[in-house]
Amino acid sequence: MIRFENASVVYPGGVHALKNVTLEIPDGQMVVIVGLSGAGKSTLIRVINGLVPLSDGDVTIDGVSVRHARAGELREIRSRIGMIFQTFNLVKRTSVLNNVLLGRLHDAGTLRSVLGWYRPEDIEIAMQALERVGIVEKAYVRASNLSGGQQQRVGIARALAQNPKIILADEPVASLDPPTSHVVMRDLQRINRELGISTIVNLHFLDLARVYGERIIGMRQGELVYDGTGAEADENVFRDIYGRSLTADDLLGEPAAAPA
């Protein structure tokens, strides 16, 4: 269970990115966060694994405080949280497998990982993660040779290789075309349902949010302004969150193809 208690973040320079957010996310839930750029979506996600430090309040995961975790504890917490990025954040010059193995770094220990002497079990976990997202045949291909959608799936595999309890996804499909976006979102949904991993996704395409978000959280100027189901979130709700009428840029526009 992820719990936010009056979490606040003020960036140096005075920007109040999160204002007193209080929130509970039970295990296994799929949550979509929507809001304008700068509304606090990225910050909300990044305080969960401590990439952004809290200025006030706290975030706890199964009772363990993120804000007060020391360096080693923080790494332990992070190792159980997988993260997926809008720009994929793969190491372009190295193989897909090496990228997925980044997810095994914490569990493999410093000595083994720095020397590259991963145990067979670690390699096995990485391979299985690749199989789960369906691109194991690219295991030894250089990451930069893959398409955008494939690279994001490597990102997902990297997160899966951590055997995570939580997956955070920061605008995972913003750089992808519509059909690929649906593929990736369906992968995330499948992983959430089959493996019971809590999944928290930032999206700025509202139609995607409605389709894939079992729970939708709306952020505006750092404050939580909406918390409800995908079904309930209609245009009025979104207009409240965004503070303006919807435009074509807010929608992906293409409905999902019928599931295979």
Closest to other proteins by CB, 3 or 186: 186
Interatomic CA distance for residues 130 and 158, integer angstroms: 8
Q: Is 76 in the site for other proteins (CB under 8 A)?
A: yes
Q: Is 14 in the site for other proteins (CB under 8 A)?
A: no
Closest to other proteins by CB, 34 or 139: 139
Q: Is 94 in the site for other proteins (CB under 8 A)?
A: yes
Tell me if 200 sits within 8 A of 48, measured CB to CB: yes
Q: Is 150 in the site for other proteins (CB under 8 A)?
A: no
Phi and psi at residue 8, in whole multiples of 5°? -135, 145
Among 35, 103, 172, 218, binds other proteins (CB under 8 A): 103
Burial class for 169, CB neighbours closer than 10 Å (0-12, 13-18, 19+): buried
Closest to other proteins by CB, 248 or 260: 260
Q: Would you state the structure tokens that stand for residue 138, as one six-digit string?
A: 């690219």
Tell me if 2 sits within 8 A of 33, measured CB to CB: no
| Part of the chain binding other proteins (CB under 8 A), chosen from 6-14, 79-87, 220-228, 244-252 | 79-87
Closest to other proteins by CB, 37 or 93: 93
Closest to other proteins by CB, 103 or 218: 103
**Closest-CA residue to 78 (of 43, 111, 110, 51):** 51
Strand stretches in 62-207, DSSP E:
64-65, 81-84, 166-170, 198-202
Helix, strand, or coil (residue 7):
strand
Among 32, 102, 209, 224, binds other proteins (CB under 8 A): 102
Q: Would you state the structure tokens that stand for residue 187, as one six-digit string?
A: 């992968």
DSSP β-ladder status, 16-25 and 198-202: unpaired
Q: Is 49 in the site for other proteins (CB under 8 A)?
A: yes
Q: Is 200 in the site for other proteins (CB under 8 A)?
A: no
Among 13, 70, 120, 140, binds other proteins (CB under 8 A): 140
- Tell me which residues touch other proteins (CB under 8 A): 49, 51, 75-83, 85, 87-94, 98, 101-103, 105-106, 110, 113-114, 127, 131, 136-140, 155, 158-159, 162, 168, 259-260
